[in-house]
Structure 1
Amino acid sequence: MERILEDWLLHANRRPKILIADDQPSNIRVLYELFSAQCDIFMASNGEQALQLCQAELPDLILLDVVMEDIDGHEVCRRLKADPLTSTIPIIFITAQNQAADEVIALGLGAVDFIVKPINSVIVRARVRTHLTLKLQGDLLRASAFLDGLTGVGNRRKFDDDLLTNWRQCLRDKTPISLILLDIDYFKHYNDRYGHQSGDSCLKLVAKTIAESLRRPHDKVARYGGEEFACILPKTKREDAVRIAEAMLGRIRALDIEHRGSDVDHVVTSSAGVATLLPTLSSTPEVLLTAADVQLYEAKRGGRARVCATREE
């Protein structure tokens, strides 16, 4: 397990997270002692608690009992696999059920492994090690598929996933979420005047500057399309989001990239639209996206090189 910990710290910059769900405290204690030195452990004593922890913590691996109060392990597995947010989390059933038919059912539900109680520590450690290795490799492959090839920030698909994930988290936490849509002013004129190679270099510099303007690890930037970028700011009030957007625009202007084709300035500038919402069960992330897009349009209509924001959260 030590090697697994080293790989996770190197590639993911954190320890792997394991959720243990079992209605017997003695079983949880045994598994906790096996993995707590190398992994962050979360514990649930029933199915409902397991589902809530999965949504809140997004563990890297779930060790799941079948027979539990309220919601059994099979139903927990069905719900997790039906939710795009949790569908890729590997599940290992650890159960006293020992018939071949039981294993067939578990694997048919989407579990990656099936271990029969009583727990053999050597077998459990070996299988957990294998599936944590596979999970890390899968995460790295998915991460590369979510990057914009030119700028190195997230791509549109990554933006869509991050927006949904953070929207749900803010809905659970009852906290606001802010979105910044940022567009390079008169970028078509820039490409026409300086060429597409210079345009690509400009996009890379702007993307790097935006990313460096985000201080918190859970703030996300993605290339939304063409010369447009999007920043997701969970747990961020309107005034803080506006301040961040204004700082971004200032840093982009300070790059001092010549732009003689601009009607705003002789250097590259940008416009931004900011929207902030407190998620509710009756609203959707698309409402936030539309609001930010409207504000970006207002910034352009008002002369560009400025920030426009919704009046209130």
Structure 2
Amino acid sequence: MWRPEPGRGQAEQEICHREIEEPALGALWPPRATEAKHGGDSSLEDILTNTTQADGYDEAADQGATVEQIVDALEEDIVLGYLNPRERLTEDNLRERFSATRHAVRQALMVLEKRCLIERRKNFGAAVKSYTRKEVIDLYSVRETLEISGAQQIPFPVPSSELQKLIDVQERHDQAARTGNMRAAFKANIAFHQALFNLTGNNILATVIEDFARRAHVIRFISMANPDLLEKARRDHWKIIRAIERQDREELVLVCRDHLLPSRDTYLAQFRHRDEP
């Protein structure tokens, strides 16, 4: 039966509530060899095969992945750079990888299209979404507006139990960064921001923030593979936690805004030579 990547246990650590200190991590890089980004010249079939084998899947035993499992796996592959912008996704390759029905694959592609992670082109089919320069700037302008609003709406003081949830999630992010487990780092990063903006008590705003963050997955893959940017993101998370603990609204808003910029700027610099689609 098709199986997602097995979970990794996390060591429990003592937390000091009175004074939160950023853990010393030591070297964060390089990541596991199995997490290395596949080259852009690889075929989709090679990428899918190599990614599956590297993550410990037994293709012979894989059967019947659900729509949700297919969506989650492809979403991770996009944000981790295993699948590149404009890279084609064929139903036959996906059916073979996930041992899934054509219906399940088509449903998964529809979900990914609604999330703005893939796009369909005439006479080409489905491909990983590629943003124009203006689209990137516009998307991040909206994200900045939303996340600043979220930071402004978090009521102070935050209950210690809720603050502890943020700390627990960030420790998982630290552990993933330390071991070079980019899949776990991706999941922990999402969990951190979900927990952060859930503090607003505004479920509609939190949902919209999450939706627009997901749209940026295609853009963020370069920063995920950069050890310096991964370290900056990790430190930003601890700055956010400290600002909440100190009830420093100005610092919280500033960090939340600046936290968005590296992935945007890195993507624009990397693809500045591309023609507009």
TM-score (norm 2): 0.27
Higher helix share: 2
RCO higher in structure (CA 8 A, sep ≥6): 2
Question: Which structure: larger Rg?
Answer: 1
